[in-house]
Amino acid sequence: MKIDTLTDAIGEWLRGTGPESDIVMSSRVRLARNIAHFPFVSRASEQERFDTEALLRERIAAAPIGGSLEYIDVGHLEEIDRQFLVERQLISREHAEAQGARGVAIDGREQVSLMINEEDHLRIQCMHSGLDLAGAFEQIRAVDEEIEKVVPYAFHPRWGYLTACPTNVGTGIRVSVMLHLPALVITRQIDKVFRSLHKISLAVRGLYGEGSQAMGDFYQISNQTTLGKTEEELIEQVGDVVPVLIDYERRAREFLVRETQENVHDQVSRAYGILRTAQTISAEETMQLLSRVRMGVLLGLIGDVTIPDINVLLVRTQPAHLQKIRGVELDTNDRNIERARYLRHHFEGGTEPAN
């Protein structure tokens, strides 16, 4: 059903459009919400989880936004389909691996996703391509306001929105931007940048990665605190630092072109060469090489590939995507062979028209 239609579609954050999209992949805002009269998910009985899911699913479906959402019963999905939704950033890894009644409602553009029974009863997420935190917040606020009319959110005048983990209490908001910072990695400035981000209490994580080891030079910057500041202030906290990071990355890219043009050109050309000719290749290596090619395209060193094209390859070469496209389950070895085949075929067939 919907999962298969998603395979052919392109998610919002892969669109490769929006402000500063040469560096900012996507902007995301998420809200953690709970229903006052049910225990939090980890404490709830099977029946209570079921009731919580039913209540939220029904009331969201009946709200005005319900008409534009597709509901997926994550509790009854095959593992590969759950993994697919994780790769697509529509559900979290925790949600995929959890037990019991749970689901996700997604809009057709893959901008809005509402996870039911994750760590909290409801996790609303809104993702926009490029740098657009204000737009993402405006959209998520409208969704939140619709739902609060029909569901009694757990709220306390002093503590704000009540969450299963005290790290999310208050606004329940997590604001994040995903940045592509290859030049800061190559020029070895990235650690310095991250240390300074930690000092202003911002968290840094890699794309897909749980740890700090980012794959393919993609990094997610987000707020760490949720209480004692307004939503707008927390958005500003993240938003204010982005132009600075963009500026650093641009300067590092200019430096690379100015000082080491041959080296950089060589690196991105080799990366492109491997992607077009490899016979077996891991997901990690693919990400790393695509990251370099992406930079090469932006620096004008590679002419016949577009940014949206690379963004799409980034996700379609992930394990679950690859298997969904191929239509069979594959072990790691076969996936690596299939991934290489997919990449060769993609580059041979020329690129899709640029947008």
Partner 1 sequence: MKCQHCDRQAVFHITELETGEVRELHLCEDHARSYLNQSEAASETPAGKPSGSGTPLGVGQTAEELSVLDQKTCGMCGISFFEFRNQGRLGCSHDYVAFEKELEPLIANIHGATEHVGRRPRQAAAIVMPAEGTEGLTRLIGLRLEMKEAIAREDYEKAKENRDLIREIEETWLSPSAASPTPPEATP
Interacting residues toward partner 1 by CB under 8 A: 34, 36-40, 42-43, 45, 48, 59, 62, 119, 141, 145, 148-167, 169-171, 173, 225-231
> Which CB sits closer to partner 1, 77 or 151?
151
Residue 49 or 324: the one with the smaller Cβ distance to partner 1 is 49
What angle in degrees, to the nearest 10, is found between the helix axes of 231-277 and 332-348?
A: 80
229: left (phi over 0), alpha (psi -120 to 50) or beta: beta
Helix (H) or strand (E) holding 177: strand 173-180
The three-state secondary structure class of 218 is strand
Spatial separation of the C-alpha atoms in residues 339 and 280, rounded to whole Å: 7
**Quick one: 235 or 295, whose CB is closer to partner 1?**
235
Question: Which two three-digit tokens encode residue 34?
Answer: 């709970």
For residue 95, the minimal CB distance to partner 1 (Å) is 15
Least distance in angstroms from the C-beta of 92 to partner 1:
15
Closer to partner 1 by Cβ: residue 76 or 156: 156
227-to-47, 49, 163, 200, 233 alpha-carbon distances in Å: 32, 27, 12, 15, 11
Residue 123 Cβ vs partner 1, minimum distance, rounded to whole Å? 14
Contacts of residue 145, defined as CB under 8 A and 6 or more positions apart, other chains included, come to: none
SS3 (DSSP) at 16? coil
- CA dist 205 and 181 (Å) reads 13
Residue 42 CB, nearest approach to partner 1 (Å): 5
Cβ 304 to partner 1 shortest distance, Å: 48
CB of 168 to partner 1, least distance (A): 10
| Beta carbon nearer to partner 1, 37 or 93 | 37
Q: Which region, left, alpha or beta, applies to residue 18 given φ > 0 means left and ψ of -120 to 50 means alpha?
A: left
| Cβ proximity to partner 1, 93 vs 149, nearer residue | 149
Shortest distance, position 226 Cβ to partner 1, whole Å: 7
Neighbours of 144 (CB within 10 A): 20
3-state secondary structure of 38: coil
Q: What is the nearest approach in angstroms of partner 1 to the Cβ of residue 190?
A: 23
Distance between CA atoms of residues 74 and 105, nearest Å: 10
CB nearer partner 1, residue 44 or residue 193: 44
User: CB of residue 15 vs partner 1: minimum separation in angstroms?
Assistant: 29
Least Cα distance to 209 among 271, 264, 287 occurs for 287
Question: How would you class 101 by CB atoms within 10 Å of its CB: exposed for 0-12, middle for 13-18, buried for 19 or more?
Answer: buried
Nearer to partner 1, 167 or 196 (CB): 167
| CB of 325 closer than 8 Å to CB of 316 | yes
- The amino acid occupying position 76 is H
Residue 66: CA count within 13 A, CB half-sphere: 12
- Cα–Cα distance measured from residue 74 to residue 103, given in angstroms and rounded to the nearest whole number: 5
Q: How far is the CB of 242 from partner 1 (least distance, A)?
A: 21
Nearer to partner 1, 36 or 354 (CB): 36
Q: Which is nearer to partner 1, 129 or 223 (CB)?
A: 223
